[in-house]
Amino acid sequence: MRYRRLGRTGLQVAEIGFGGIPIQRISGEEAAAVINRALELGINFFDTARAYTDSEEKLGAVLRKRRGDVIIATKSMARTREKMAADIRRSLEVMGLEYIDLYQMHNVKDRESLQQVLGAGGALAALREAKKEGLVRHIGVTSHVKETLLDLMKVEDIETVQFPFNPVETNGVQEVLDLAGRTDTGVIVMKPLAGGGFRQAGLALRYILAHPVSVVIPGMDTVEQVEQNAAVGSGPLDLSPAEKKALEEEKAGLGATFCRRCEYCQPCPVGIDIPTVFLLDGYYRRYDLKGWAIQRYNAMKVKPGACKECGACEEKCPYNLPIRTMLKDAVSRLG
């Protein structure tokens, strides 16, 4: 496994890190096997969040036993000093840690939330205090919005930025990378496979790592995924003409309006598993697995027909997707 410097934090992180969203879907025992295999293969950067149900708990159960070998990042949607301080304490308690290497302000997506976290009594104030107390060693931010990232990188306390980047999501990325280089800000890439949209994961990861990023964090919930992704961290990064063509074909198949499975739209008030509907529709449309997709769709406990058109999912979507319209479109095939 190759390692890179995480900006001015000075931390040496594996090129391939571990995204902690998917382990919510598996048991504690299964999660432990996946995490331990990642450690065996040299992965040392693990990212989770307060919002990822039991992800912190599952990661902490394994990683606290290997504390000296790992770099642990988590994050909170808290916007005020009081709520962020409470979330930091809760993360430490749940994970069984004395300190967290990187604590991030989660999904700062607009001018209002930016001003709130940076203002008097905002979340950044709590992170500064936690850093002084030794509870947090470094401070970062995650966002899906280029303009917000550019503003945040001008704040001295913020040492890392985390944002989506993959072969189909490139808008504004170069500008962010250029400023990160000038400010020596660590770059963490999330959604590298566009929420599972890219089936040839190795090609997409190699494409990203050819850029000046610090670490890429695909979500993983099987040992096989860990092994496949970790192999990229020790293999060649240059893509052959044939591989570039294959990546372009996958990119064209995805289009622009698609679900990245970030799961920010969840929970649905009536219980619709929105990301799974779109995942199954993707298998139906892009991978010619129509029968399998329909069978899985029919087994869902709550189908999109139960939608009350409340729009809560669209308000929470960082990509501003027309989710209600997309659900109806998916049902026209799967239903």
Q: What is the mean pLDDT of residues 188-211?
A: 91
Could you read off the pLDDT of 55-104 as tens digits, one per residue?
999 999 999 999 999 999 999 999 999 999 999 999 999 999 999 999 99
Measured CA to CA in angstroms, residue 262 lies from 246, 319, 329 at distances of 25, 10, 20
Q: What is the mean pLDDT of residues 300-309?
A: 93
Nearest 5°: the CA angle 226, 291, 200 is: 30
pLDDT recorded at residue 289: 72
The one-letter amino acid at 59: L
Could you read off the pLDDT of 254-289 as tens digits, one per residue?
776 778 777 789 899 999 999 889 878 877 876 567
Q: What is the mean pLDDT of residues 248-252?
A: 87
Domains and CATH numbers, the chain: 3-238 (3.20.20.100), 274-334 (no CATH)
pLDDT recorded at residue 60: 98
pLDDT recorded at residue 288: 65
Could you read off the pLDDT of 102-113 as tens digits, one per residue?
999 998 988 889
Task: Report the chain's mean pLDDT, rounded to a whole number.
Answer: 93
228 Cβ contact list (under 8 Å, min separation 6): 201, 202
Report the alpha-carbon distance of residue 195 to residue 198 in Å, rounded: 8
Q: What is the mean pLDDT of residues 6-34?
A: 95
The long-range contacts involving 169-176, CB below 8 angstroms and separated by at least 24 positions, are 169/194, 169/260, 171/146, 172/146, 173/146, 173/211, 175/146, 175/150, 176/146, 176/149, 176/150
**pLDDT of residue 133 exceeding 60:** yes
